[in-house]
Amino acid sequence: MTTIKIGTRRSQLALWQANHVRDALCKVHPDLEVEIVGISTQGDRTLDVPLATEGGKGLFLKELEQELLTGDIDLAVHSMKDVTVSLPLGLHIPVICLREDPHDALVSNQYADLSGLPEGAVVGTCSVRRQCMLKHRYPVLRTENLRGNVNTRLKRLDAGEYDAIILAASGLKRLELSARIQQIIPADLMLPAVGQGALGIECRQDNAEVNHLIAPLDHLVSHCRISAERAVNEALSGGCHVPLAAYAEVSENELHLTAQVGRIDGSELLTARATGPLSEAVPLGRAVAQDLIAQGAQQILMAYAG
């Protein structure tokens, strides 16, 4: 294979991600030709309603995965926080690239951190996870839906529609917008989303050549972290649009996994933690999920099923 086609959404951030993978591939395989194929997804075309009411973040994957299955593209690059628990038959994600900062970031033109926001301040986010944690810890704040690409959201903040907005720190850093960040929100205030900050490469399982070409891009520690987080989500049947968070850190070859499930109104927030070896990432995630289930997580998540 001398040419490989990477499918991607057309947003500025998605194109950055695809080009990042292209550059990494070309560095490992100098003779490889890589073509970027922009694809419009339903999630990009439906921006006037909350994601959860339209089926969640899986809306950003469907068209890309169809192109993979038909062979029109060879691989797709995804932000792992957008990837559904189950993948179409015949597809897999064998590569997780080195993870960028997984935390959330507060962006505001007036306030330096969450604690400085006054009562009644309006915070823009489309994430039910962020809404849940924000309302749990800062019940005097208001949240309003905010969708669109990063620059669209920043423009709406600058137009005065919100007092602050919350975005993924990784996206802002990748787009060289770190100067807009007022606060990197600590995990003990807002636990990151499953897979946040990590890029995954999806391809067909039966395409041995593509699997071989992309294998050097896999980052083992990042892959283990994401596997543990996704195992929590899978065991809880959580999907991408429920108030659920899971975050794995690594210290001395051990995974330290924390997961939370809560109600969007912030009235309840369950937490579970566990530590184990990198090689046991998936069982560790399942164990943390069982702890949450024992605390009543499934009853909470049932309200957001469908």
Tens of pLDDT, residues 253-269: 899 999 999 999 999 99
Given a cut of 70, whether residue 54 has pLDDT beyond it is no
Domain ranges of the chain: 1-98+198-218, 104-185, 219-306
* Region 59-87 average pLDDT: 91
Q: What is the mean pLDDT of the chain?
A: 92
Residue with the larger pLDDT of the pair 259 and 301: 259
* Region 104-127 average pLDDT: 97
* Region 137-148 average pLDDT: 94
Residue appearing with tokens 């029109």 = 72
Given a cut of 50, whether residue 56 has pLDDT beyond it is no
CB burial of 42-77 (b: ≥16 within 10 Å; e: otherwise) equals ebbeeeeebbbebbbbbbbbebbbebbeeeebbbbb
Given a cut of 60, whether residue 104 has pLDDT beyond it is yes
Q: Extract the tokens encoding 19.
A: 């080009």
Homologous superfamily of 219-306: Porphobilinogen deaminase, C-terminal domain (3.30.160.40)
The CATH number corresponding to 1-98+198-218 among 3.40.50.300, 3.40.190.10, 3.90.79.10, 2.60.120.330 equals: 3.40.190.10
Given a cut of 80, whether residue 239 has pLDDT beyond it is no
Q: From residue 105, give the alpha-carbon distance in Å to each of 34, 164, 235, 280.
A: 33, 10, 28, 30
List the CATH code of the domain at 104-185.
Answer: 3.40.190.10
Q: Which of 74, 82, 101, 104 is catalytic?
A: 82
pLDDT band of residue 42 (cuts 50, 70, 90) is low
Given a cut of 90, whether residue 306 has pLDDT beyond it is no
**CA 279, CA 224: separation in Å to the nearest integer?**
8
**CA 299, CA 52: separation in Å to the nearest integer?**
18
- Give 15-61 as a DSSP string: HHHHHHHHHHHHHH-TT-EEEEEE---HHHH--SS-HHHHT-GGGGT
Query: Residue 41: what pLDDT?
Result: 66
Active-site annotation holds for 218: no
Tell me if 1-98+198-218 shares its fold with 104-185: yes
